[in-house]
A and B are shown apart, each in its own frame.
Chain A
């Protein structure tokens, strides 16, 4: 904007509330986390001692931390790929139909409003080993479902819960992406004799790749940081540590294990990770603006 108001003090006044909140609730805690990561504190918070990089070394030597990284990766990529796959399928179908399009859209997108914790509870009861309809049905076809004992099944359950809620989001963006593809391109291919499947794989799918990449990043960020509720309300990281993601471990080690230094070191690792992902997201968006 080339034209600006001449006042000199007003802009600071306008920025003040946002900056105060940012300093008190974001920068100060973040600074504390970084500082804490270099100290070892006793469980009562009475004394602490500077230990340098000790907490990070401890993290590096802790096989449980690597398990949590592995759990996070399996969980996040499963959620992202499953959610995007289903959403793409529904979006392609919805893009084809003429009658009832808006009704279909409405009935598919409402789960966006359901928070992951509640989604977890809803699926939890469906799969409850002693009374859940899905678990009992699985028993009739020979699958012995018990997510209280079986870590892989617990993982499948949290993946389903977290994905269920995210389908709506992916669906909306894929549908918008599909509608942005010029009709003339598809018509030309049809005239040249390409059937619907060929058209999808050779024209539609490649043209959706910017949308897909964007959604992949968003879904990974979602699975990393916003799905705490699913895990906390249902498995609480169990059985054992088979569903304890990195974010869940920060909370668990800090609030329940009272290992403040270790938890803070994990916070720092996560902050670096979010930072990197944010940069990727912005780099990508800059590129999108150019075309």
Chain B
């Protein structure tokens, strides 16, 4: 603190409280809306205080059916989301860590080319090439399958760059020492490199999990079978019933449940999350 200005300090606190209220407002209303019966929404205004249908609404959506034209319960879609998120996260980390290893610790022809090919994936977000990617996945008969949900999303230039950056700081003496002691590349990778990159892997895991869980467009077009619906994309299907027939209380429960896991990850692993966010942008 440079100088003591109580008024300015008060303004700071008030501003921050305003910010917190601003970001929390929609979630508060969603929470309130999720505790009312369906009829409450026809009468003109969303009630501003909690109703008494909390356990009924949440129980029904979680365990029997999500409503609004979707017959499967939310727990099943949560499971699908979890499989997709973990598949994307683990897949991305696994394939990028070994390719970064190859690029940094080996000399071979076409090394530069391989690096550029990976780099290009950074330039092509799935939204941009959506139609042909769909056709490729359809040709491979991967529609309505977990592989179809996960595989097209696991190539990641960001993760490869991050691991490359991290591996380049490993001193050459370490590699020499390992070789003199008779460790081959596989042994070196598992016994020295992996333990060294533990924090990086964890930080990346947090970021990629959020990325994977929040996928929207891709699951929306590759799944037509309720059994493979993920939670985030199901919102769209729930809202596409006839206007006026939307059961807002159920939609709100689903929305809150869909955002709960990634929010919990951010709040619970804040340090790793911040590190991952900053690293991923380098």
Q: Point out residues on A near B: beta carbons under 8 Å.
A: 1-5, 7-8, 10-12, 14-15, 17-19, 21-30, 32-33, 36, 86, 89-90, 93-94, 96-98, 100, 104-119, 121-123, 125-126, 128, 130-133, 136, 164, 167-169, 172-173, 176, 183, 186-187, 190, 196, 214, 218, 225-226, 228-229, 232-233, 247, 250-251, 254-255, 260, 263-264, 267, 270-271, 274-275, 278, 285
Contact = CB atoms under 8 A, between A and B. Distances in A.
Interface in B195-227: 210, 213-214, 216-217, 220-221
Contacts of B221: 255
B190 interface: no
Dominant secondary structure at the B interface: helix
Given A113-B210, A122-B27, A131-B41, A251 B127 contact: yes
Nearest to A227: B127
Contact of A121 (B19, B24, B251, B270): B251
Given A97-B16, A115-B258, A125-B252, 11 more contacts: A3-B173, A7-B184, A10-B106, A14-B102, A24-B136, A96-B12, A125-B29, A190-B2, A232-B216, A263-B131, A267-B132
Interface centre among B102, B121, B135, B140 (most CB of A within 10 A): B102
Contacts of A225: 125, 127-128
A45 to B, nearest CB: 9
Nearest to A215: B281
B185 A7 contact: yes
Interface in B93-149: 94-96, 98-99, 101-108, 111, 114, 117-118, 120-125, 127-137, 140
Nearest to A176: B278
Dominant secondary structure at the A interface: helix
Contacts of A254: 130-131
A96 B8 contact: yes
B96 to A, nearest CB: 7
B270 A232 contact: no
Interface of B: 1-3, 5, 8-9, 11-13, 15-16, 19-20, 22-27, 29-30, 33, 41, 44-46, 48, 94-96, 98-99, 101-108, 111, 114, 117-118, 120-125, 127-137, 140, 151-152, 154-155, 160, 167-168, 170, 172-173, 175-176, 179, 184-185, 188, 210, 213-214, 216-217, 220-221, 232-233, 235-236, 239, 248, 251-252, 255, 258-259, 262-263, 265-267, 270, 273-274, 277-278, 281-282
Contacts, number: 294
